[in-house]
């Protein structure tokens, strides 16, 4: 008997680790006494139970509400029940599963990608799947022994990871070719069970080769060699690049956004740099609304502070060329629009951002003050300089 429910996707960040629960009667009793607090690095919870009971005897509850057929995917295969329930992003999600009205599983989940581990509540613990004990019940139906062809499979459906992980890429618009098209997973994931930050008590298979989640850059640079050389030349590096954490912005497997980003480019920048309140201001720099942050900032690094693509003056006059014609008459006649270092005096600098906010403001023309004269007195106290 088989019954399928369509799954839902939130702001998905797909990890290499799946979360499964394989229950014994003793575990069920323990869980009824003390509710589990679990950290999930993927936006769903996979529940597997060995049972001969038919699927229609089970019901699934999310935050106290029974889930409908548009929310949960559940499949009965032989004497095993597989169910996948969606989790809220950066929030607690209460999951309860009932059999004939009796609760058989209950847990509180907190979903956050691995690179956001700093926001995970202390009481929430990670439970990886690929340990020896947890793999045993699955070996009856799934091949979990690595063979030579898994590294570069001639037919992807036979690759070791495919049968369990192929659903990760369903409907994704942007696919990382080595991962989601060629299924050459073992170029980045090691196969032997090793001690890991994810599983300090039990060795874990298929962790990232060469280090933890924040040290993936060496893996990326194996293929992206030209970019690796470019990074060495940056005078100013974006923080994630400096830490070797390419996956803070990019999903290494698949995404619904261009360049395998975890989200819309502007949203991704705003959330990390805590600009949420600033962009709610009445006046927003138009280029942010139309093209986002990257017309002015390089998301990886540059030769200029704040990863700007050029000097402040060059950046602004690229879109506002008329200011170049008013170099000595902006905002009024005989007033310099900008003064480059060394133009008059080595300490004498003036640029566009001294009078305008480059992002957003409460006032027109992106000025920091409503009264222009108040702005003038910052440099001309008493009306003279």
Q: What are the tens digits of pLDDT across the range 48-74?
A: 888 999 999 999 999 999 998 789 999
79: CB partners within 8 A, 6+ apart: 50, 51, 52
CATH annotation of 1-127: 2.60.40.10
* CA distance from start to end of the chain: 85
Q: Where are the domains of the chain?
A: 1-127, 129-263, 283-383
Q: Nearest Cα to 220, choosing from 244, 190, 184, 193? A: 244
CA–CA separation, 161 vs 189, rounded Å? Answer: 11
75, 96 contact by CB (below 8 A): no
Q: Nearest Cα to 144, choosing from 117, 162, 156? A: 162
pTM of the model: 0.77
Q: What is the pLDDT of residue 371?
A: 84
Reading the chain (385 residues) residue by residue, the pLDDT tens digits are: 333 333 222 222 333 334 444 444 444 444 444 578 999 988 899 998 889 999 999 999 999 999 987 899 998 888 889 999 999 988 999 999 999 999 999 999 999 987 788 889 999 998 888 988 888 888 888 999 999 999 999 999 999 999 889 888 888 999 999 999 999 999 999 888 888 777 777 888 998 876 555 578 989 999 999 999 999 999 999 998 988 889 889 999 999 999 999 888 888 898 888 788 888 899 999 999 899 999 999 999 999 999 999 888 888 989 998 888 887 888 888 888 887 554 444 445 788 888 899 999 999 999 988 888 888 887 777 654 4
pLDDT digits (tens, 9 = 90+) for 73-100: 998 888 889 999 999 988 999 999 999 9
pLDDT digits (tens, 9 = 90+) for 122-147: 999 988 889 888 888 888 889 999 99
Q: What is the pLDDT of residue 114?
A: 76
117, 133 contact by CB (below 8 A): no
Q: Nearest Cα to 133, choosing from 194, 46, 207, 202? A: 202
Q: What is the pLDDT of residue 340?
A: 59
Size of the chain, expressed as the number of residues it contains: 385
Q: What is the pLDDT of residue 276?
A: 80
Q: What is the pLDDT of residue 7?
A: 28
CA–CA separation, 220 vs 240, rounded Å? Answer: 13
Q: Nearest Cα to 129, choosing from 185, 46, 62? A: 46
For the chain, the helix, strand and coil percentages under 3-state DSSP, each to the nearest 5: 30, 20, 45
CA–CA separation, 97 vs 102, rounded Å? Answer: 8
31, 107 contact by CB (below 8 A): yes
Helices (H), 224-371: 225-232, 239-242, 265-272, 286-291, 312-319, 322-325
């Amino acid at each position: 008997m088989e019954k399928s429910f369509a799954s839902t996707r939130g702001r998905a960040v797909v990890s290499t680790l799946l979360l499964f629960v394989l229950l014994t009667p003793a575990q069920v009793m323990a869980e009824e006494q003390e509710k589990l607090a679990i950290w999930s690095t993927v936006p769903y919870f996979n529940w597997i139970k060995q049972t001969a009971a038919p699927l229609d005897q089970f019901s699934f509850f999310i935050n106290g509400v029974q889930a409908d057929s548009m929310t949960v995917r559940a499949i009965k295969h032989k004497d095993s029940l597989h169910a996948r329930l969606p989790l809220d992003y950066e929030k607690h999600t209460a999951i309860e599963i009932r059999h004939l009205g009796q609760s058989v599983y209950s847990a509180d989940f907190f979903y956050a990608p691995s690179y956001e581990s700093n926001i995970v509540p202390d009481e929430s613990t990670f439970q990886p799947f690929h340990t020896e004990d947890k793999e045993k019940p699955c070996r009856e139906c799934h091949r979990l022994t690595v063979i030579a062809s898994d590294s570069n499979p001639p037919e992807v459906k036979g690759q070791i990871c495919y049968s369990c992980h192929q659903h990760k890429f369903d409907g994704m618009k942007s696919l990382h070719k080595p991962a989601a098209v060629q299924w050459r997973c073992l170029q980045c994931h090691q196969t032997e069970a090793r001690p890991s930050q994810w599983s300090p008590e039990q060795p874990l298979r298929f962790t990232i080769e060469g280090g933890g989640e924040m040290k993936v850059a060496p893996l990326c640079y194996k293929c992206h060699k030209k970019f690796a050389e470019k990074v060495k030349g940056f005078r100013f590096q974006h923080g994630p690049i400096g830490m070797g954490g390419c996956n803070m912005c990019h999903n290494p497997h698949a995404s619904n956004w261009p360049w395998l980003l975890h989200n819309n480019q502007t949203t991704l920048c705003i959330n990390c740099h805590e600009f949420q309140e600033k962009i709610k201001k009445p006046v927003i720099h138009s280029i942010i609304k139309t093209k986002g942050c990257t017309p002015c900032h390089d998301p990886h690094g540059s030769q200029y502070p704040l990863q700007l693509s050029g000097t402040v003056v060059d950046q602004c006059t690229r879109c506002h060329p008329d200011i170049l014609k008013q170099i000595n008459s902006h905002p009024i006649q005989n007033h310099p629009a900008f003064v480059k270092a060394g133009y008059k005096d080595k300490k004498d600098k003036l640029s566009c951002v001294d009078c305008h906010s480059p992002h957003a403001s409460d006032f027109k023309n992106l000025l920091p003050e409503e009264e222009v004269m108040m702005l003038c007195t910052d440099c001309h106290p008493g009306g003279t300089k």
